[in-house]
Amino acid sequence: MAILGIDLGTTNSLIGAVDSGFPILLANAEGHRSIPSAIHFPDSGDPVVGEAALRQRALSADRVVTSVKRLMGKRLAEVERDRHPYPLTADNEGYVRVALGNKGSLSPEEISALILKELKASAEAAMGTTMDRAVITVPAYFNDAQRQATKRAGGLAGLTVERIVNEPTAAALAFGLHRSKDHARIAVYDLGGGTFDISILEIHDGVFHVLSTNGDTYLGGDDIDHAISEHLWQAYQSNKFTLAEQDATLQIKFRAEAEAAKIALSEASSQLIRMPFVEADKHFEYTLTRETLDQLARPIVERTKALCLRALHDAKLKLDQLDEVLLVGGSTRMPLVRQFVTDLFQQEANTSQHPDETVAMGAVIQGGILSGTLRNIVLLDVTPLSLGIESFGGLMNVIIPRNTTIPAKAGEMFTNAVPDQTSMLVRVLQGEREMARDNWELGQVEVPFTPGPKGSARIGVQFQIDENGILEVLTRDTKTNTDTVLEVKNAAIDVDDKRVEAMISESVDHAFDDMSERVFTEAKLKSEELLPAVDQALALIGDQLDNTDRQEIQDATEAVKQALANRNATELKQANAELDDATQQLAALLMQKALADASA
Ligand code: AMP
For a ligand 1 pocket test, name from 25, 263, 267 the mutation site with the most ligand atoms within 8 angstroms of its C-beta: 263
pLDDT of 503: 33
For 201-240, b/e burial (b = at least 16 CB within 10 A) is bbbeeeebbbbbbbbbbebbbbbbbbbbbbbbbeebbeee
Q: Which atom of ligand 1 is nearest to the CA of 221?
A: 10
SS3 content of the chain, % helix, strand, coil (to 5): 45, 30, 30
Q: Which atom of ligand 1 is nearest to the CA of 220?
A: 10
For 387-496, CATH number? 2.60.34.10
What per-residue confidence (pLDDT) applies to 6?
98
Q: Which of 109, 144, 162, 167 is catalytic?
A: 167
Residue of the CA atom closest to atom 7 of ligand 1: 193
Q: Whose CA is nearest to atom 14 of ligand 1?
A: 330
Dist. CA 336 → ligand 1 center (Å)? 13
Query: Is residue 167 annotated as a catalytic residue, yes or no?
Result: yes
Among protein residues, the one with the nearest Cα to ligand 1's atom 21 is 263
The reply to whether 69 belongs to the active site is yes
Ligand 1 atom at minimal distance to the Cα of residue 224: 10
Ligand 1 center–CA 80 separation, angstroms: 26
The topology under which CATH files domain 4-165 is Nucleotidyltransferase; domain 5 (3.30.420)
Rounded distance between C-alpha atoms, residue 582 and residue 554, angstroms: 9
Q: Which of 118, 144, 162, 190 is catalytic?
A: 190
Query: What atom of ligand 1 comes closest to residue 11's alpha carbon?
Result: 2
Determine whether 7 is an active site residue: yes
Q: What is the pLDDT of residue 161?
A: 95
pLDDT of residue 287: 96
pLDDT tens string, the chain, 600 residues long: the values are 789 999 999 999 999 998 877 788 998 888 889 999 999 999 889 999 999 999 888 788 889 999 999 999 999 988 887 778 889 999 999 999 999 988 899 999 999 999 999 999 999 998 999 999 999 999 887 888 899 999 999 999 999 999 998 898 899 888 876 555 568 899 999 999 888 999 999 887 667 778 888 888 889 999 999 999 999 999 998 666 777 777 777 888 899 999 999 999 999 999 999 998 888 788 899 999 999 999 999 999 999 999 999 999 999 999 999 999 999 999 999 999 999 999 999 999 998 888 999 999 999 999 998 888 776 555 556 666 778 999 877 888 888 877 677 777 888 888 887 888 888 888 988 877 777 877 778 888 888 888 888 888 888 888 888 777 678 888 888 888 888 888 664 332 232 334 334 433 443 444 444 444 457 777 888 888 889 888 888 888 888 888 888 899 999 999 999 999 988 888 898 999 999 888 888 888 888 887 787 776
Cα(67) to centroid(ligand 1), Å: 15
At 34 the three-state DSSP class reads: strand
Whole-number pLDDT of residue 504: 35
How many other β-carbons are positioned within 10 Å of the β-carbon of residue 406?
19
Q: How many helices (H) and strands (E) does the chain have?
A: 16, 28
Query: Quick one: which atom of ligand 1 is closest to the CA of 222?
Result: 10
The answer to whether domain 4-165 and domain 179-218+304-355 are alike in fold is: yes
Residue 198 CB coordination number (10 Å): 26
Confidence at residue 158, expressed as pLDDT on a 0 to 100 scale: 97
* Class (C level, CATH) for 179-218+304-355: alpha beta
CA distance 195 to 216: 6
Kindly give the distance from the C-alpha atom of residue 263 to the centroid of ligand 1, in angstroms, as a whole number: 7
Q: pTM to 2 decimals?
A: 0.67
**CB within 6 Å of ligand 1 — which residues?**
9, 11-12, 192-193, 220-222, 259, 262-263, 266, 329-331, 333-334, 356
The pLDDT of residue 500: 31
pLDDT of residue 207: 72
- 474 CA from centroid of ligand 1 (Å): 44
Give the fold, CATH level 3, of 221-296: Actin; Chain A, domain 4 (3.90.640)
Nearest to 349 by CA among 215, 478, 188: 188
Report domain 512-599's class.
Answer: mainly alpha
> How many angstroms does the Cα of residue 289 sit away from the middle of ligand 1?
18
Domain limits of the chain?
4-165, 179-218+304-355, 221-296, 387-496, 512-599
